[in-house]
């Protein structure tokens, strides 16, 4: 029997009210609060449980606690939802998505809020064109809407072609590589070289790549450089060896495409809802370090989001892949990029986030990418 089938419709309605109250206030929820909330919304049928007394709600909350869906902090008479309760809540929202009308379903006030949100998103993307600009705007919009961390990742297929490459010396053995593709994506990557290279050597390597491989597919460049290194046995090979090492660092093997990552709103995790104790603050600083190391974020998204899926996915068990992200939630969806590229748009935030609004925003922005980058013929 599925977990949601073990509780009655009335218990499910009460649990929904508890989760939404806890998301809003961050405080343990009492039976009187829930009875009052249900009474206020009974005309609209928001929770589907009208006219319940505090005693009835209290008894149902005890049953929900026995099911492991509520827990009671030792300092309070109220209850708070468990991770399982949040999962059931999100399953309900996802079910309403399947029924039509967006994540929230066609439910009056919520429907109006969803349409207002979509209008805001459309306005935010007005005048934006090109994959790079859309990714940057996406991370900003999602951070603003969710008060969490907005992320946008694009992987351009290996068939995308090289427009320009640039190398800058940052210090001994440290190089910044910038790869620009014909689709407009810009990928910057910090490289640690086995041996130090001069600014003149970096310029020579960039000139070689730009002159010989402009317009080549990203996946062909590596193969051709390797072939040239095997063939040459001269001073020319010294240049090629540097080029090979720099290119291998700028575009790692295993991902012939160029990956671009935008992250915005990391400060929201330190000052947002659901963050309080010094211990939580210390843990979140570890999270920020992981987010700033963008490759770690890409690995996390790759572990959970499949480019073939067609809907928003909500992930609660991030700690299984990234222990430092225990207690955080990922809401993300795949998005089609220019050409054959693919990517992910999403939000990372605490359990106390506004799921309905965030899920709607992620889903709609994925549609915006489809509409703007793949207009109908």
Q: What is the dihedral of CA 99, 104, 105, 108, to 10 degrees?
A: 170
Distance CA 110, CA 100 (A): 13
Q: Is residue 233 part of a domain?
A: yes
Distance CA 104, CA 223 (A): 50
Q: 88-97, 254-263, 334-343: which range is least confident on average?
A: 254-263
Closest CA relative to residue 239, chosen from 229, 231, 249: 229
* Contact between 365 and 375 (Cβ < 8 Å): no
Q: What is the pLDDT of residues 238-254, one digit of tens each?
A: 777 778 778 777 776 65
**Residue whose token pair is 């609209």:** 44
Q: Are residues 47 and 188 in the same domain?
A: no
| Cross-strand bridge partners of residue 192 | 174
Q: Are residues 44 and 148 in the same domain?
A: no
Q: Is residue 97 part of a domain?
A: no
Q: Are residues 11 and 68 in the same domain?
A: yes
Q: Is residue 186 part of a domain?
A: yes
Q: Is 153 helix (H, G, I), strand (E, B) or coil?
A: strand
Q: Are residues 270 and 352 in the same domain?
A: yes
CATH of the domain at 12: 1.10.10.10
For the full predicted model, state whether its pTM sits above 0.85: no
The confidence score (pLDDT) of residue 253 equals: 60
Q: Are residues 264 and 152 in the same domain?
A: yes
Q: Are residues 274 and 290 in the same domain?
A: yes
**Domains in the chain, number:** 3
**Residue whose token pair is 């009308």:** 101
CATH of the domain at 139: 3.30.450.40
Q: Are residues 119 and 34 in the same domain?
A: no
Q: Are residues 304 and 332 in the same domain?
A: yes
Q: Are residues 33 and 58 in the same domain?
A: yes
* Contact between 154 and 131 (Cβ < 8 Å): yes
Give the CA distances from residue 103 to residues 231, 311, 345, in Å, rounded to whole numbers and listed in that order: 58, 10, 16
State which H helix or E strand residue 277 sits in: none
Q: Is residue 226 part of a domain?
A: yes
pLDDT (average), residues 161-179: 86
Domain that holds residue 219: 162-250
Where residue 130 falls (left for φ over 0; alpha for ψ -120 to 50; beta otherwise) is: left
Q: Are residues 13 and 149 in the same domain?
A: no
Let me know how many helices (H) and strands (E) the chain has, helices first: 13, 10
Q: Is residue 65 part of a domain?
A: yes
Q: At which of 35, 63, 81 does a domain end? A: 81
Q: Is 152 exposed, middle or buried (0-12, 13-18, 19+ CB in 10 A)?
A: buried
Q: Which two tokens stand for residue 235?
A: 């001073």
Q: Is residue 86 part of a domain?
A: no
Cβ count near 58 (within 10 Å): 16
More confident residue, 107 or 355: 355
Give the ranges where 67-130 is alpha helix by DSSP (H): 83-99, 109-124
Q: What is the pLDDT of residues 10-53, one digit of tens each?
A: 899 899 999 999 998 888 898 888 887 776 655 444 544 456 78
Q: Are residues 177 and 305 in the same domain?
A: no
pLDDT at 146 over 50: yes
* Contact between 289 and 268 (Cβ < 8 Å): no
Q: What is the pLDDT of residues 205-243, one digit of tens each?
A: 899 899 988 888 877 887 888 788 777 766 567 777 778
Give the ranges where 214-330 is alpha helix by DSSP (H): 218-231, 235-250, 266-271, 278-292, 294-304
Q: Is residue 87 part of a domain?
A: no
Q: Is residue 295 part of a domain?
A: yes
Q: At which of 250, 281, 304 does a domain end? A: 250
The confidence score (pLDDT) of residue 370 equals: 83
Q: 15-29, 90-104, 157-171, 179-193: which range is least confident on average?
A: 90-104
Q: Which residues contact 113 (CB under 8 A, 6 or more apart)?
A: 104, 357
Q: At which of 250, 267, 300 does a domain end? A: 250
Q: Are residues 298 and 346 in the same domain?
A: yes
Distance CA 17, CA 92 (A): 12
pLDDT at 100 over 60: no
* Contact between 219 and 158 (Cβ < 8 Å): yes
Q: Which two tokens stand for residue 170?
A: 């940052």
């Amino acid at each position: 029997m599925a977990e949601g089938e073990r509780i009655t419709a009335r218990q499910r309605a009460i649990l929904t009210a508890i989760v939404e109250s806890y998301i809003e206030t961050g405080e343990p929820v009492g039976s009187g609060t829930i009875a009052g909330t249900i009474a206020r919304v009974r005309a609209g049928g928001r929770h589907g449980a009208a006219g319940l007394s505090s005693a009835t709600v209290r008894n149902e909350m005890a049953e929900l606690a026995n099911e492991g869906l509520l827990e009671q902090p030792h300092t309070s008479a109220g209850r708070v939802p468990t991770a399982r309760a949040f999962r059931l809540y999100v399953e309900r929202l996802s079910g309403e998505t399947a029924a039509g009308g967006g994540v929230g379903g066609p439910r009056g006030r919520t429907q109006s809020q969803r349409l207002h949100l979509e209008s805001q998103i459309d306005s935010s993307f007005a005048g934006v064109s090109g994959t790079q600009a859309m990714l940057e705007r996406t991370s900003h919009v999602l951070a603003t809407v969710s008060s969490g961390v907005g992320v946008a990742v694009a992987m351009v297929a290996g068939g995308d072609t090289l427009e320009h490459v640039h190398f800058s010396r940052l210090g001994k053995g440290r190089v910044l590589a910038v790869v620009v593709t014909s689709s407009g994506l810009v990928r910057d990557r910090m490289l640690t070289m086995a041996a130090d290279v001069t600014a003149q050597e970096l310029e020579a390597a960039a000139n070689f790549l730009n002159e010989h491989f402009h317009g080549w597919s990203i996946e062909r460049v590596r193969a051709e450089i390797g072939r040239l290194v095997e063939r040459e046995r001269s001073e020319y090979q010294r240049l090629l060896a540097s080029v090979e090492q720099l290119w291998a660092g700028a575009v790692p093997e295993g991902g012939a495409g160029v990956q671009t990552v935008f992250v915005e709103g990391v400060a929201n995790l330190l000052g947002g809802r659901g963050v309080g104790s010094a211990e939580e603050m210390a843990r979140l600083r570890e999270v920020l370090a992981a987010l700033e190391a963008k490759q770690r974020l890409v690995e996390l998204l790759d572990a959970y989001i499949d480019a073939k899926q067609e809907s928003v996915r909500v992930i609660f068990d991030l700690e299984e892949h990234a222990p430092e992200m225990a207690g955080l939630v990922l809401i993300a969806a795949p998005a089609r990029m220019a050409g054959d590229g693919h990517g992910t748009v999403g939000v990372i935030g605490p359990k106390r986030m506004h799921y309905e609004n965030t899920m709607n925003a992620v889903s709609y922005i994925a549609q915006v990418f489809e509409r703007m980058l793949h207009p109908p013929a």
